[in-house]
Structure formats: structure tokens, C-alpha cells
């Protein structure tokens, strides 16, 4: 498929890191070059991102990862998302006449799972200790770093979300966000990271940091307690998968939304997408309709699997795909009338790492919305995520707020294999756009044989169950017109990374074992290799 890319693929032989910020990517690459493996490098990259891209990620957020060790050729999924407080009470909120959990309230704070995820990954699969892996992040926090243009813009746009506590934190400079090129120092965060590097996750969940966070959340009216932190643990779970045109596509299971991507792929597998043409209105129509039908299932079923019945086998079956496919009319939009998930947009970081031994880590770290709740714990510069806002206050919904429950999550790392050999380590950030991004990446790579960078450069759509869709302005006008003629409520929108997603891809060349990397042209990301 001929398609002019805006930049070249990155190629390497010994190891590769792809993420949203160059300094963080280099932190991971240094780990690889110093004897660490892909898992060490992924955690090092994630830790550095908490310093250099603090509106998107942080130790006050959650983490999911897929891991594949070259010697085992088995993919494992790590769910390091936190649970609601033991004292969480939906009735308390309904008595306040609330119909949803406010995004900037202490009620939206669940136990941050990120640090437990870092520790678990290093314990199970790393070559290095946590102190070695966090050294770059601590160095940048102590010695400072110049802020890039895109991150400065995101910081400025979202600084108003920060609470008054942020005025005495590392997250603002004399009450304002940093300008492009300005050097930012984070001494408070450096000390927290140093404490974690020396004491491990126990220093976070069973030490003074947990006391500081829980006390501050309770002072804001929230429920989190020291005991909620002490009882938190991450879980290794079986990934879910489907086969699309001979490629096995892997996702984390619920409470994440990877299920949405797999259902959409199953629906599309019954259509000859390639014959419809790359970037044609017919292709966009079928992708949008498949995604809407998948989102319908996701809105009804995705929740904490330990507290809700999720019929995964049925949802991923051929029979279910056949049923869903029958709703797609090639000439018009399907009429879908079901409860709707919020059209969530978030800021997140995604990290893809593959090393010379075939070890791979697909990892995603997030505060959910920019700076999460905006609540900053005094003297720590820890911004607390607002993942709990995704709980429902409707007791008939599987994602109903209950004590010690994990909420619906948008963040989803992914992998793909061919004949049990690793082919892709990839992810797309952007709230509910993430599963849609996965779908579009795979169709571009598999159906249209694009390279990784061409795949990320290609114009994207964003849709919802309600038939409100958007197409990037870099797409052709005639595509928009033809989709509108089919009944799509679709308009153009600027290619912003938070809205249309921000992706990273590392492809393993199955012929010679070399690595082919690509990073999002809509943001600051880059792939680096050696």
C-alpha cells in the first residue's frame, strides 16, 4: 500500500524503546544498554515519565502491562489497578443528589496501583533492582529538565485542574505552569521516588507515604484509609485474545476495555476490508460500525471480574460476532439504543519495549484525566488519579460503586503474535479512543500492509455508541461527505493526540529478528534503538 509517511521507521537490532517523551525513552534505552532487560527498561521509562510528563502519569495512578519473555513465549497480563476504599458508599453520594462521581473530588480517588506494578514487574522478570531502575527518574527530578513545547502546552491547558495544594508542590512554578524550554526541578517528587527506590513498594503502601495520601484524601471528604493501602496487591491474570486474519491479538481482560477491541476485530473478520480500499469511506464505515457495536457490549459488561459476571467466552465467540455483524448495513448506520459509557478523554502514557533476547513489555501508566483529580498531596507532589469517577451510581450496572472494587478502566496495553512468535508490542492512549486506536492500527498493519510509522501517521476516526463520530482534518473531504450520506453524524476535528489517540509500535521482523519502531506524529513521542 502506497502511503507517504511523515517520518521514517526506527530500526534496531539490540533493543528498542518507544514512548511519548524523548528523555523517558532514553532512560529506558540506557537501562537496556547497561544490562537491563525489556521489563527493567519499561519501568525505568515509566518512572521517568512521572517526572517529565506529570500531567499524564504519576505514582498516584494505575498501571496495566503485558509481558512476554523470549525464553517462555507466553504472554502474561498484570493488573496493577487499585480498588475502591473499604468505606466506599454509593448511597452517601446519592444522598448528596449526585448522579455520578465528580471527577475532581476525593470520592474519585481509588488506591493508586502504579508502584505495586513496578515492583511486581521487577520482582518477577527484571534483571535489575528497583533502585537501579528508578535512578534516571530521580536524576531528572533532582537536577531538572527542559520542558518540551507539547508538554508545556498540555501543562498550561490543564494547570487549572490542580488544587490549591499544588501551589506548594513541584507541579507549579510560582503558581504557573512551565514555559517551553524552562528547566523544571522536582525535589519533593525526587524524595518520594528515592524513598520507594530504597524501601520498595512497602515504603509506599505500608509507610508514611500511605499515611500522607490517605489523611489528605480524608481531609477532602474521601474514603481512602491506611488499611486500604496496606491490603492492596496487583494481580497476574490471563490475557484475552482473538485471531484476526492469522494474527493472534492479545489484550488485558476486564476491568480494562481491551475486550472492545477484540469484539470489533471479530466483527470485521467477516468482511473483506482490504478490497474496500485504504482510507475509503466504505472501510471507515465498517470500522466505525464494528466499533460502535463493540462499545455497546463494553458498556454493558466491562467491570471488575471478581464482582461481576462477564461472559467472556460468549462475547468473543464466532456466534456473537456473526450476530453483531448482521446489524451492519453497508449503506447506512445501525440503530443502537443502549446505555452509554461516558465519552471519556484522558491523558496517559504508553511504553513499548523489546530487547535483544525477545523479551517484551507493553505497559500503560495513567492518572486518567490530566493531573487526575487535581488533588495534590502536600509535601510530596503526588497528584492523585480520578479513576473512581468511572464507577456507576446505578446499582443495576455491573460497574456499580462498591467497597474494594476495581473500576472500569480505559487503559489497555496490547501485543500480537504470529505462529506463537512475537510480532507487535503496541498501544494507543486517549480514553475511550484506546480500543478504537488498537482496531485502526491492526487494520492498517494487517489488511493494508502499512509499516508501523505509516500506520500511526494515517488519519483516524473516533466514534461512540450514540453515532457521534469525528474524523481527523488530515483525511480527505470526500470521505467525510460519503460517511454523512450513509447517515453518520460525523464532523472533522483537529488531530489532537488526547482526542484521536497517541500510539507507539514496535514490530519484530519475523524474518531476521530486527526491530522496527514508530511513534506518534501528533505528540512528542519517539522510538529509540541500539
Q: Which residues are catalytic?
A: 348
- The H or E element spanning position 155 is helix 149-158
CA–CA separation, 329 and 342 (whole Å) = 26
The span from the CA of 500 to the CA of 257, in Å, is: 17
Cβ-in-10-Å burial (0-12, 13-18, 19+) of 342 comes to middle
Give the contacts of 279 (CB within 8 A, at least 6 positions apart).
Answer: 458, 459, 475, 476, 479
Q: Hey, what's the cell of 475? A: 483525511
The stretches of 258-400 forming alpha helices (DSSP H) are 258-268, 273-276, 281-301, 312-315, 318-325
Report d(CA 462, CA 59) in Å as an integer.
29
> Which position has the grid cell 496487591?
233
Query: Rounded to the nearest 5 degrees, what angle is found at the Cα of 3, between the Cα atoms of 416 and 295?
Result: 45
CB atoms within 10 A of CB 359: 24
Phi, psi (5° rounding) for residue 66? -115, 135
Pull the grid cell for residue 174: 510560582
User: Sign of torsion, CA 300 302 304 305?
Assistant: positive
Comparing CA positions, the residue from 255, 252, 208 lying closest to residue 110 is: 255
Question: Could you give the CA distance from residue 415 to residue 248 in angstroms, rounded to a whole number?
Answer: 9
Element (H, E) at 197: helix 187-205
Reading the block at residue 287, the C-alpha cell is 470500522
d(CA 143, CA 56): 21
Amino acid at each position: 500500500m502506497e502511503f507517504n509517511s511523515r517520518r521514517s521507521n526506527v530500526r534496531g537490532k539490540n533493543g528498542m524503546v518507544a514512548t511519548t517523551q524523548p528523555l523517558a525513552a532514553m532512560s529506558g534505552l540506557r537501562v537496556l544498554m547497561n544490562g537491563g532487560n525489556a521489563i527493567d527498561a519499561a519501568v525505568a521509562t515509566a518512572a521517568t515519565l512521572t517526572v517529565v510528563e506529570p500531567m499524564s502519569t504519576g505514582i498516584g495512578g494505575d498501571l496495566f502491562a503485558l509481558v512476554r519473555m523470549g525464553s517462555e513465549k507466553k504472554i502474561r497480563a498484570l493488573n496493577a489497578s487499585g480498588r475502591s476504599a473499604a468505606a466506599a458508599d454509593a448511597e452517601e453520594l446519592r444522598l448528596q443528589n449526585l448522579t455520578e462521581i465528580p471527577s475532581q473530588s476525593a470520592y474519585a480517588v481509588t488506591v493508586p496501583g502504579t508502584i505495586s506494578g513496578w515492583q511486581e514487574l521487577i520482582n518477577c522478570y527484571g534483571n535489575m533492582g528497583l533502585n537501579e531502575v528508578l535512578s534516571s527518574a530521580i536524576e531528572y527530578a533532582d537536577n531538572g529538565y527542559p520542558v518540551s513545547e507539547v508538554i508545556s502546552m498540555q501543562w498550561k491547558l490543564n494547570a487549572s485542574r490542580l488544587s490549591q495544594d499544588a501551589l506548594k508542590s513541584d507541579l507549579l512554578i510560582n503558581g504557573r505552569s512551565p514555559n517551553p524550554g524552562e528547566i523544571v526541578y522536582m525535589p519533593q517528587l525526587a524524595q518520594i521516588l528515592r524513598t520507594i527506590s530504597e524501601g520498595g513498594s512497602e515504603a509506599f503502601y505500608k509507610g508514611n507515604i500511605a499515611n500522607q495520601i490517605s489523611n489528605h484524601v480524608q481531609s477532602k471528604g474521601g474514603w481512602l484509609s491506611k488499611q486500604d493501602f496496606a491490603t492492596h496487591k496487583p494481580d497476574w491474570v490471563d490475557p484475552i485474545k482473538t485471531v484476526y486474519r492469522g494474527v493472534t491479538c492479545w489484550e488485558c481482560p476486564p476491568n480494562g476495555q481491551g475486550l472492545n477491541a477484540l469484539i470489533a476485530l471479530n466483527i470485521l473478520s467477516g468482511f473483506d476490508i482490504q478490497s474496500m480500499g485504504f482510507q475509503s469511506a466504505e472501510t471507515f464505515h465498517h470500522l466505525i460500525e464494528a466499533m460502535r457495536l463493540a462499545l455497546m457490549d463494553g458498556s454493558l459488561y466491562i467491570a471488575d471480574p471478581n464482582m461481576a459476571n462477564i461472559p467472556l467466552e460468549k462475547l468473543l465467540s464466532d456466534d456473537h460476532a456473526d450476530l453483531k455483524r448482521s446489524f451492519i448495513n453497508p449503506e447506512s448506520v445501525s440503530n443502537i439504543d443502549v446505555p452509554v459509557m461516558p465519552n471519556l478523554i484522558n491523558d496517559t502514557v504508553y511504553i513499548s519495549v523489546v530487547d535483544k533476547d525477545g523479551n517484551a513489555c507493553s505497559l500503560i501508566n495513567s492518572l486518567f484525566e490530566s493531573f487526575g483529580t487535581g488533588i495534590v498531596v502536600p509535601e510530596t507532589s503526588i497528584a492523585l488519579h480520578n479513576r473512581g469517577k468511572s464507577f456507576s451510581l446505578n446499582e443495576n450496572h455491573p460497574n456499580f460503586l462498591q467497597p474494594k472494587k476495581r473500576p472500569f478502566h480505559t487503559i489497555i496495553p496490547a501485543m500480537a503474535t504470529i505462529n506463537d512468535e512475537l510480532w507487535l508490542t503496541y498501544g494507543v492512549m486517549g480514553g475511550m479512543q484506546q480500543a478504537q486506536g488498537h482496531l485502526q492500527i491492526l487494520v492498517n498493519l494487517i489488511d493494508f500492509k502499512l509499516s508501523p510509522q505509516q500506520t500511526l501517521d494515517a488519519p483516524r476516526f473516533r466514534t461512540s455508541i450514540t453515532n457521534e463520530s469525528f474524523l481527523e482534518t488530515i483525511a480527505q473531504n470526500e470521505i467525510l461527505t460519503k460517511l454523512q450520506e450513509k447517515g453518520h453524524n460525523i464532523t472533522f476535528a483537529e488531530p489532537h493526540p488526547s482526542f484521536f489517540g497517541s500510539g507507539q509500535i514496535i514490530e519484530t521482523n519475523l524474518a531476521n529478528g530486527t526491530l522496527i519502531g514508530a511513534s506518534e506524529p501528533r505528540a512528542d513521542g519517539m522510538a529509540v534503538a541500539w
